[in-house]
Structure 1
Amino acid sequence: MGLFSELKLAVPWGHIAVKIWGSQKNPPVLCLHGWLDNANSFDRLIPLLPQDFCYVAMDFGGHGLSSHYNPGLPYYHQNFVSEVRRVATAFKWNQFSLMGHSFGGSVGGMFACMFPEMVDKLILLDSTPFLLDFNEMENILTYKRRHIEQVLQVEASQKPPRAYSSEDLLQKLLSQNSHLNKDSGELLLQRGARKTAEGLVLNRDRRISLPENSFDFVSKELFVQATRRLQARVLMIKALQGFYDVRRVNDKHKEPLLFMVDTLRSILKERYQFVEVPGSHYVHMNTPRVVAGVISSFLQCLPPLSSSRL
């Protein structure tokens, strides 16, 4: 399935860039990338999925080819949730499916709970529908403070963005993310960087720093209440060598994930499917065939190919 088109959807601060595969007459699947990634995150997976759907991969604001937010406007988690609503409005979707990787899954999860009637299927790629405050209560105010300070620091800086050679920029990306292989890193940089006279410059907004600065952490009580609002069927794919926490220092503490899996299973029952697959956090890019089958079956409402418990 080849790329159908690229569009720029108008928003008050500029545009949201999207890539579209398939006919817009087909049921839509909106694809949400991870933190600091872009719509190219789905280039290898979507061609392996059923062709009787329309797949739309968006660049979040400040990412990829989408406009940066206006000066003085920070990037908050709910802003990204609002962008999903704007895209749905632009395409005049009354109901659609969501597929999100990492940060994109948490954005999609919050949207599906806030607008439950609009989402029929939610696919979480090494992601959870929310982040719990399980290990983070003492840190949340620190994150919020750091977010404000980061924005003010970038606004005060007059330095132009740093330019790199293509090889140096790729090595920088791979050194910062050991879960990406070389081909996947190159694919993300095709959309995530632009050529200048000095070399390649990253497209992303420098006001975006660490993901925990802009995530919304929720309590266990709120997670339970939000899950009860879900009308969607939910597929959670967990990469065995992936991430378990937004902060790597907590990555060995799996209690939050266990709580979410048990809660989703208890409340959603047959509408919830949990699958573990071999691979890293970027399994959907590095080895997309590992997840393509289970996603295809889920989209087509076929019996699960496989399922497992933590």
Structure 2
Amino acid sequence: MHAGAYTGEGEEGLGPWMQGTNDWFCLTGLFSELKLAVPWGHIAVKVWGSQKNPPVLCLHGWLDNANSFDRLIPLLPQDFHYVAMDFGGHGLSSHYKPGLLYNHQNFVSEVRRVAAAFKWTRFSFMGHSFGGTVGGMFSCIFPEMVDKLILLDSMPCVLDCNETDNIVTYKRRNIEHMFQGEASQDSLRVSSMEEMMQRLLNKNSHLNKECGELLLQRGTRKMATGVVSNRDRRLSVPETCFDFLSKEMLVHFISRLQADVLLIRAKHGYYDVRQANHEKKPLLIMVDTLRTVLKERFQYVEVPGNHYVHMNDHHLVAGVVSSFLQSQPRTTSRM
């Protein structure tokens, strides 16, 4: 449904590499769609609020899309400028060109392109799961650009406790997966929306149907006989999308952070599953490192809910996120 004029700044001053679309209204509030030009096509973003306000870049989880934040953002303070992007190969963003691999560093560089497109010199992050690790890595590489880092059932880096022997296997799998996809002549898999929904829920037990519908709205496109996924099939090997750090490197990276950090852990989320599988150690090490290095600049909050608590039970995290965004930054003297 068209909603008329956008409440933000429109497209003036955004530069030649931004292409705007109409502003729309849904049950989650007023937002605008933009496409940011990049060498391989475009990065699609959704925008809420005036560009005169402090920006918050919202990063979705692996295989999700920008609709992840449709329910949460309308509950957050309206004096911020929220931008939710689709990572390359996700949602409405362009796929990488044939022959190019997806990897964690490339996703971090996409964030830098978005910041350049909006001419941001400083901004904040809100990232769910994989999006939190991308935002966290960016915050370590470009610490002077990030005010606040909000991690929704996520961590700023992926700690390598048990993966050393597997890293070479992951890198090989990523390359072989790309070759297999290029050799395959399989056409796009056309399904009914009901079949697509059932597959999504089967693979994401923490996701409810209502929120699954939100993700599929942006994650599928209509064909004559049904719908197909927008997502690049090369993304189906999850380990290749992450960088793994040793404990020594973790401390070094965290010590680079200048941002205030809020980590919201869902009590029955991803790290609860890992704890059940006797893999609690990485979370404990990460939280202890953040507390030790960042001191008063780190906040840790547990909320009821599962890995998709920001979608399924968005009201449970909205107050915590709002208070953190509106709090005064804790400055650091580190350069």
Provide the TM-score with structure 1 as the length reference: 0.95
Give CA deviations for 1:100-150 in whole Å, capped at 9, x if unaligned. 000000000000000000000000000000111111111111111111111
User: Aligned residue for 1:82?
Assistant: 109
Q: Is 1:183 the equivalent of 2:210?
A: yes
The residue type equivalent to 1:179 in the other structure is H
The residue type equivalent to 2:166 in the other structure is N
User: Aligned residue for 2:4?
Assistant: none
User: Aligned residue for 1:288?
Assistant: 314
Q: Does the 8 Å contact 2:72/2:311 carry over to 1?
A: yes
From 165, 175, 189, the equivalent of 1:138 is 165
The residue type equivalent to 1:149 in the other structure is E
Q: Is 1:216 the equivalent of 2:243?
A: yes
The whole-number CA distance in structure 2 between the counterparts of 1:4 and 1:51 is 12
Give CA deviations for 1:142-188 in whole Å, capped at 9, x if unaligned. 11111111111111111112111011110110011100000010100
Q: Is 1:65 the equivalent of 2:84?
A: no
- 1:251 CA displacement: 4.5
> 3-state DSSP class of the match of 2:211?
helix
User: Aligned residue for 1:306?
Assistant: none
Superposed, 1:216-255 pairs within 5 Å as 216-244=243-271, 251-255=277-281
From 4, 11, 31, the equivalent of 2:58 is 31
Q: Does the 8 Å contact 2:102/2:240 carry over to 1?
A: no
From 192, 198, 211, the equivalent of 2:225 is 198
CA RMSD of aligned residues (A): 1.6
Q: Does the 8 Å contact 1:244/1:251 carry over to 2?
A: no
Structure 1 residue ranges (4+ consecutive) displaced by more than 3 angstroms after TM superposition: 247-252
User: Aligned residue for 2:282?
Assistant: 256
Task: State the percentage of identical aligned residues.
Answer: 73
The whole-number CA distance in structure 2 between the counterparts of 1:296 and 1:141 is 41
User: Aligned residue for 1:114?
Assistant: 141
Provide the TM-score with structure 2 as the length reference: 0.88
Q: Does the 8 Å contact 2:104/2:240 carry over to 1?
A: no
Superposed, 1:120-159 pairs within 5 Å as 120-159=147-186
User: Aligned residue for 2:303?
Assistant: 277
User: Aligned residue for 1:265?
Assistant: 291
From 94, 97, 102, the equivalent of 2:121 is 94
The whole-number CA distance in structure 1 between the counterparts of 2:212 and 2:205 is 10
- 1:212 CA displacement: 1.1
The whole-number CA distance in structure 2 between the counterparts of 1:275 and 1:252 is 22
> 3-state DSSP class of the match of 1:229?
coil
- 1:209 CA displacement: 1.1
- 1:3 CA displacement: 2.6
The residue type equivalent to 1:122 in the other structure is L
1:6/1:251 CA distance change after superposition, 3 Å: farther
- 1:249 CA displacement: 9.9
The whole-number CA distance in structure 1 between the counterparts of 2:184 and 2:308 is 33
User: Aligned residue for 2:19?
Assistant: none
> 3-state DSSP class of the match of 2:31?
strand
Q: Does the 8 Å contact 1:63/1:204 carry over to 2?
A: yes
Q: Is 1:168 the equivalent of 2:195?
A: yes
1:207/1:171 CA distance change after superposition, 3 Å: same
Q: Does the 8 Å contact 1:243/1:251 carry over to 2?
A: no
1:186/1:44 CA distance change after superposition, 3 Å: same
Q: Does the 8 Å contact 2:42/2:93 carry over to 1?
A: yes
User: Aligned residue for 1:307?
Assistant: none
The whole-number CA distance in structure 2 between the counterparts of 1:298 and 1:45 is 14
User: Aligned residue for 2:3?
Assistant: none
From 308, 326, 335, the equivalent of 1:300 is 326
1:112/1:250 CA distance change after superposition, 3 Å: farther
